[in-house]
């Protein structure tokens, strides 16, 4: 996956700052560990140390990232930049007083992960992830996100001097990330919805039918399929226009949806056809749902602008699959295709019988 330019620059800047601070701290500690017989006087050494420390503080306090120095045993914070309060809402004195103050400000669910990272670094091991993101719970109730990295700092001989911590506020990145996830979820949902009726589209119907069939086979339970066709919709389109035909489709979809159970799947199969998946429904239950649809349809009319009314009628084909009526040689795709064909055949028989009918596959 490509990294956004802004995120890439943030990483590069953090690495640059780390390198610069590493250099400053190494110089300071190197001077502190210089041999006592150094040609430089103590006053010169003290002055050099003060200059180096001042440069370090100026650098650390004028950038947005939080920097802090931790003693080699992890018990004492020796320096923290002013950005600590901006990020956490907690004063730097709190971190000086308690080296674990970072943990107190974190989301409780994130604390074990931070402790694991610290223990790995202090133990001389590489943590699972050297750079991780943590939620920061501010006292005002707001939440910030920080990308935290802990690095051991060693002198020229490789001896551990202290640890350098760096925290970058990535709250805005997190917000954009969440917005992107929501947008992708919305796009994915829209890809499964029929735009006109608001029902599932054919693709979504097939996916859910496949899932319900798999569950029916696994749990040895029935599942029923209905194919519904609006009667004479083509004639309505020819006489009144497609806008009226679309109103019929919307009205029919609402009737079908309100006639089914909350856990049934209702979708537009294409054109003037709808598909209904009824999980766990045997023939008796499926017949009751079909009868309820017919009652609601016969009680409904579409009022036109000229005060005329159009009746809505449909034909329905029904088939029932029992979880025990399949062989190991048959794939789910083959069984599902067979069921779609059975429901379609029953629908054809309903239309041949004079429309406004319900027919069940396999029944005379």
- Residues 148 and 273 both lie in one domain: no
21 and 133 housed in the same domain: yes
Residues 241, 299: one domain? Answer: yes
How far apart (Å, rounded) are the C-alpha atoms in residues 163 and 340?
66
Asked if 253 and 205 count as a contact pair (C-beta separation under 8 A), the reply is: no
- In this predicted structure, the answer to whether residue 120 has a pLDDT above a threshold of 60 is yes
How many whole angstroms separate alpha carbon 79 and alpha carbon 28?
13
Distance (Å, whole) CA 165 – CA 132: 12
112 and 200 inside one domain: no
Strands 265-270 and 273-279, sheet pairing: antiparallel
Which residue, among 321, 327, 332, 330, has the nearest Cα to 210 in the 3D structure? 332
Evaluate whether 149 touches 117 at the Cβ level (below 8 Å). Answer: no
| Residue 186, in any domain of the structure | no
- Which pLDDT value is given to residue 101? 86
CATH number at residue 265: 3.30.70.270
Rounded-to-integer distance, Cα 156 and Cα 111, Å: 33
Residue range 35-52: average pLDDT? 49
pLDDT one-digit tens code per residue, 83-104:
888 888 888 888 888 888 888 8
CB contact set of 90 (below 8 Å; sequence gap of 6+):
84, 101, 104, 105, 139
pLDDT at 146 over 70: yes
Q: For residue 151, give the CATH number of its domain.
A: 3.30.450.20
Measured on CA atoms in the order 128, 131, 135, 136, is the torsion positive or negative?
positive
DSSP 124: T
pLDDT at 15 over 60: no
Span 40-66, average pLDDT: 57
| Number of domains, the chain | 2
Q: Tell me, yes or no, whether 280 and 225 share the same domain.
A: yes
- Clarify whether residues 246 and 296 are in a common domain: yes
So what's the pLDDT on residue 259? 95
Are residue 277 and residue 227 in the same domain, yes or no?
yes
Q: Which residue has the higher pLDDT, 149 or 35?
A: 149
What's residue 261's pLDDT? 94
Pair 292, 325 in one domain: yes
| pLDDT at residue number 33 | 43
Q: Is the pLDDT of residue 218 over 70?
A: yes
Answer yes or no: is 184 within a domain: no
Examine the residue annotation and report whether 364 is marked as an active-site residue of this protein. no
Whether 1 has a pLDDT exceeding 90, the answer reads: no
The predicted pLDDT at position 31 comes to 44
Q: Are residues 22 and 151 in the same domain?
A: yes
The pTM of the whole model exceeds 0.75: no
Say which of 194, 231, 264, 272 is annotated catalytic: 272
Residue 310 lies inside a defined structural domain of this protein: yes
Is the separation of the CB atoms in 7 and 173 below 8 Å?
A: yes
CA distance 104 to 274: 56
**pLDDT number for residue 130:** 65
Q: For residue 195, what are the domain limits? A: 191-360
- Bridging pattern class, strands 358-360 and 314-321: parallel
**pLDDT score for 19:** 57
pLDDT at residue 318, rounded to an integer: 97
């Amino acid at each position: 996956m490509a990294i956004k330019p802004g995120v890439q620059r943030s990483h590069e800047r953090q690495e640059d700052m780390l390198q610069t601070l590493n250099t400053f701290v190494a110089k300071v500690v190197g001077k502190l560990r210089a041999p006592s017989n150094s040609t430089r006087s103590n006053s010169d050494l003290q002055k050099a140390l003060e200059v180096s420390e001042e440069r370090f503080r100026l650098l650390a306090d004028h950038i947005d990232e939080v920097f802090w120095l931790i003693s080699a045993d992890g018990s004492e914070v020796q320096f923290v930049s002013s950005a600590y309060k901006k990020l956490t809402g907690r004063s730097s004195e709190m971190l000086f007083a308690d080296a674990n103050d970072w943990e107190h400000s974190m989301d409780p669910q994130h604390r074990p992960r931070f402790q694991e990272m610290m223990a790995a670094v202090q133990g001389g091991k590489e943590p699972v992830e050297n750079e991780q993101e943590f939620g920061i719970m501010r006292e005002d109730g707001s939440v910030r996100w920080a990308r935290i990295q802990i690095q051991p700092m060693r002198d020229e001989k490789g001896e551990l001097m202290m640890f350098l911590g760096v925290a970058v506020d990535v709250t805005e990145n997190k917000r954009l990330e969440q917005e992107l996830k929501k947008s992708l979820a919305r796009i994915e949902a829209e890809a499964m919805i029929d735009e006109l009726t608001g029902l599932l589209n054919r693709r979504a119907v097939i996916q859910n039918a496949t899932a319900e069939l798999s569950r029916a086979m696994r749990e040895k339970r029935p599942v029923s399929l209905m194919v519904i066709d609006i009667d004479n919709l083509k004639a309505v389109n020819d006489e009144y226009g497609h806008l009226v035909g679309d109103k019929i489709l919307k009205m029919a979809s609402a009737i079908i949806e309100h006639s089914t159970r909350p856990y049934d799947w209702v979708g537009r199969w294409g054109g003037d056809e709808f598909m209904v998946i009824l999980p766990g429904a045997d023939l008796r239950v499926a017949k009751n749902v079909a009868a309820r649809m017919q009652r609601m349809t016969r009680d409904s009319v579409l009022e036109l602008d000229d005060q005329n009314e159009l009746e809505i009628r449909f034909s329905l084909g029904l088939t029932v699959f029992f979880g025990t009526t399949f062989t190991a040689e048959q794939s789910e795709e083959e069984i599902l295709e067979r069921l779609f064909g059975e429901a379609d055949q029953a629908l054809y028989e309903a239309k041949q019988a004079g429309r406004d009918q319900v027919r069940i596959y396999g029944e005379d």
